[in-house]
Amino acid sequence: MNDISKWIKNYCEQYGIKSLIIGVSGGIDSALTSTLCALTDLETILLTMPIHQSPDQHLRGLRHIDWLKDNHSNVSHRDIDLTSLYDTFVSGLEDDEKDTLALANTRARLRMTTLYQIAQVHGGIVVGTGNKVEDFGVGFFTKYGDGGVDISPIADLTKTEVREMAKELGVCEEILVAPPTDGLWDDGRTDEDQIGATYEELEWAMDYSDVSRPKEFLRMFGVNTDGSNITDRQKEVVEIYNRLHNQNRHKMIPIPVYKKG
């Protein structure tokens, strides 16, 4: 069994958790997470929750789920179409309240609510699918949406490591090569479209921007410790990374609590 799968199973045994609930999107992060959960032999319930979702993304997710079900008897699947629920919600808003980014986040929050509904009924927990760059680098997740989870088994893995592990575990090629996307937009925009940088670039920037790193570490990247010889594109990516990290820091730190005197 994979080390991460052992960690998941040990956590569940410690707290008497009976099942694992994962939202599957058709992307590599949820594909890897669901595979790791399947390897625990615990009841693993996979949810697809389309909301005006691209048919290609949805079908990729369904094919991955079929593969897991064929290989793991502990895996089951629920397809809960949230499109009509979302449309009803939107219809109740005033026109000036229909901000596109806020509505994208609403999709993620409706899915989170659905995951917890199924988790509570089955005595389970919601398993997060965020990777290290998303969860601790640029904060590329929805607060109380896909960020609302009980455990995060791949949150210490970069996207590169996610791909490597997914390939090793047999995740299908079409998922391995699919452009990463959060699936929250009708126009099908990718993560790179939204962020302005690839995950590989962000991984570099995350390491480069880590002030705790020793100078010797920076030299491994072939750059001067004062950053004087990085390329214009690398400077641009560092700016993107630092801007998003600071802008989204509120998602990555504990909720502020006023302490009475």
Residue bearing the bigger pLDDT, 207 or 240: 240
Q: Residue 226 has what pLDDT?
A: 57
Asked if the structure places residue 108 within a domain, the reply is: yes
Tell me which H or E stretch contains 44. Answer: strand 43-48
Do 228 and 101 sit in the same domain of this protein? no
Do 126 and 219 sit in the same domain of this protein? no
Q: Residue 215 has what pLDDT?
A: 54
Would you say 241 and 140 are in contact if contact means Cβ atoms under 8 Å apart?
no
At 79-131, the pLDDT tens digits run: 999 999 999 999 999 999 999 999 999 999 999 999 999 999 999 999 999 99
Identify the burial level of 45 via C-beta atoms within 10 angstroms of its C-beta, where 0-12 means exposed, 13-18 middle and 19 or more buried.
buried
Query: How many CB atoms lie under 10 A from the CB of residue 255?
Result: 5
pLDDT of 218 over the 60 cut: no
Asked if the structure places residue 258 within a domain, the reply is: no
Do 28 and 152 sit in the same domain of this protein? yes
Do 187 and 242 sit in the same domain of this protein? no
Would you say 244 and 195 are in contact if contact means Cβ atoms under 8 Å apart?
yes
Tokens of 212: 């705790």
Do 206 and 147 sit in the same domain of this protein? no
15-19, 60-64, 215-219: least confident range: 215-219
User: For 97-123, b where at least 16 C-beta lie within 10 A, e where not — what string?
Assistant: eeeeeebbbbbbbbbbebbbebbeebe
CA distance 25 to 135: 17
Quickly state the pLDDT bin for 12 (edges 50, 70, 90): very high
Quickly state the pLDDT bin for 214 (edges 50, 70, 90): low
Do 187 and 148 sit in the same domain of this protein? yes
Beta strands 43-48 and 19-23: pairing type? parallel
pLDDT of 212 over the 90 cut: no
Would you say 26 and 52 are in contact if contact means Cβ atoms under 8 Å apart?
no
DSSP sequence for 228-253 = TT--HHHHHHHHHHHHHHHHTHHHHS
CA distance 221 to 218: 5
Asked if the structure places residue 259 within a domain, the reply is: no
Q: Residue 182 has what pLDDT?
A: 84
Over range 246-255, report the average pLDDT: 94
CB-based contacts of 240, cutoff 8 Å, min separation 6: 138, 195, 196, 197, 202, 205
End-of-domain residue from the set 142, 160, 193: 193
What's 117's domain CATH number? 3.40.50.620
Do 149 and 247 sit in the same domain of this protein? no
Do 22 and 122 sit in the same domain of this protein? yes
| CA-wise closest residue to 129 among 31, 220, 29 | 29
Quickly state the pLDDT bin for 187 (edges 50, 70, 90): confident
Average pLDDT, the chain: 93
Identify the burial level of 238 via C-beta atoms within 10 angstroms of its C-beta, where 0-12 means exposed, 13-18 middle and 19 or more buried.
buried
Asked if the structure places residue 257 within a domain, the reply is: no
Do 170 and 209 sit in the same domain of this protein? no
Quickly state the pLDDT bin for 219 (edges 50, 70, 90): low
At 163-184, the pLDDT tens digits run: 999 999 999 999 999 989 888 8
| CA-wise closest residue to 35 among 64, 13, 3 | 64
Do 90 and 111 sit in the same domain of this protein? yes
Would you say 248 and 139 are in contact if contact means Cβ atoms under 8 Å apart?
yes
Do 151 and 223 sit in the same domain of this protein? no
Q: Which domain holds residue 233?
A: 196-252
Q: Residue 33 has what pLDDT?
A: 98
End-of-domain residue from the set 166, 193, 220: 193
Asked if the structure places residue 261 within a domain, the reply is: no
At 19-66, the pLDDT tens digits run: 999 999 999 999 999 999 999 999 999 999 999 998 999 999 999 999
The total number of structural domains in the chain stands at 2
Do 146 and 209 sit in the same domain of this protein? no
